[in-house]
Structure 1
């Protein structure tokens, strides 16, 4: 599912229990993510077409907490908020005075944020994982096994022990590239960060497709 505003795709993708993995890449990725309990960072996001031309860009901040909770705030060029308490996802557009509420899709191929905030039991069931290293940059390329997915390839790049970049490519060759800065790992994040009270007067669209006010 690709929405007009770029944040919604990513927010609709950190906890990984260690298990027996068939591939060295998957095992190494699990070792990188398994100690990570919380993650917060500023981000710069670009959407590029197949030729590398920039289509959209955005910036903001993210907070992630295992299992399954995340918050993405876009500050520029427009405001947008995506919040998950682990059960539901709220996408709020203040300019449109509209909020969409749906159940969180726990399939990691449909909700890439769960690679960071969800369970990794399904990692090798859902992806083939390859690993490469260049200097202090360690990259993991994930290819979904299920053709019914949001993307054809996802790449995570770590610098030392910190996740620094995330890139997704869809079937048209369009890429969503995100760079993280001011990273904080395993710091305390208040539970209230993953809760959101929809402002009065907002048009609310629930999963049933019925709108309420």
Structure 2
């Protein structure tokens, strides 16, 4: 059971994983990059998409693939459903984050403190001002897309580098690298930006018989 749990743990880790792009630039350029990123994120009120995700090891080998659907509403609300290879759900109601594994009949609850809210998907649900004050932001264009790379100014984060790829005003990819060298790429499709999302999607009712674990950092 422990081996199975290790292989399948943590939708939050799935939501939090992505491949980072290393860029270097002087501070004045970083400031301009932060302004450009703010211009894209400030108008974002909601976001709905399907996603494909690949987790890669330090040498580039594929460790895991997944696909699913996500809904985001600012401020602070997220629903992230992994459909395959294993069913997992992450729900944030703005106060707590619920990580639910229906096969294990287990839900882990974490408060929306700084560490949890700094996972990539939840970063998008926060304010652009908080984001750009907590990270050094760098910018480049590649293949017609705008790439913003975020380097945390604090060590208390779940990633070392995070990149957001935009096509115009629309986020199309997330890439991240964590401290172990593990990298993840998330590609979004069927995107609806600033559409109507049912608020009840961000309420999580714990199914009867589910084991509940409340974590604190």
SS at match of 2:107: strand
1:193 corresponding residue in structure 2: 201
* More helix by percentage: 2
> Is the counterpart of residue 8 in structure 1 residue 12 in structure 2?
yes
Provide the C-alpha distance between the structure 2 equivalents of 1:130 and 1:46, rounded to a whole number of angstroms.
Answer: 24
- How many positions carry a matched residue from both structures? 201
User: Which residue, 123, 128, 139 being the options, matches 2:131?
Assistant: 123
1:142 corresponding residue in structure 2: 150
1:16 corresponding residue in structure 2: none
Provide the C-alpha distance between the structure 1 equivalents of 2:131 and 2:161, rounded to a whole number of angstroms.
Answer: 14
Provide the C-alpha distance between the structure 1 equivalents of 2:95 and 2:7, rounded to a whole number of angstroms.
Answer: 21
State the Cα RMSD in Å: 2.3
Of structures 1 and 2, the one with the larger relative CO (CA 8 A, separation 6+) is 2
User: CA 1:45/1:139 → structure 2, altered by over 3 Å: closer, same or farther?
Assistant: same
> Is the counterpart of residue 180 in structure 1 residue 188 in structure 2?
yes
Provide the C-alpha distance between the structure 1 equivalents of 2:149 and 2:106, rounded to a whole number of angstroms.
Answer: 35
Conserved in 1, the CA contact under 8 Å of 2:115 and 2:158? no
Provide the C-alpha distance between the structure 2 equivalents of 1:168 and 1:6, rounded to a whole number of angstroms.
Answer: 16
SS at match of 1:117: coil
Unaligned 5+ segments in structure 2 are 1-5, 18-28
Unaligned 5+ segments in structure 1 are 14-20
Conserved in 2, the CA contact under 8 Å of 1:10 and 1:111? no
> Is the counterpart of residue 28 in structure 1 residue 36 in structure 2?
yes
Provide the C-alpha distance between the structure 2 equivalents of 1:109 and 1:146, rounded to a whole number of angstroms.
Answer: 14
Provide the C-alpha distance between the structure 1 equivalents of 2:73 and 2:64, rounded to a whole number of angstroms.
Answer: 27
1:41 corresponding residue in structure 2: 49
Provide the C-alpha distance between the structure 1 equivalents of 2:116 and 2:136, rounded to a whole number of angstroms.
Answer: 13
State the TM-score, normalized to the length of structure 2.
Answer: 0.85
User: Which residue, 53, 61, 70 being the options, matches 2:69?
Assistant: 61
Conserved in 2, the CA contact under 8 Å of 1:109 and 1:150? no
1:18 corresponding residue in structure 2: none
Provide the C-alpha distance between the structure 1 equivalents of 2:75 and 2:14, rounded to a whole number of angstroms.
Answer: 17
2:21 corresponding residue in structure 1: none
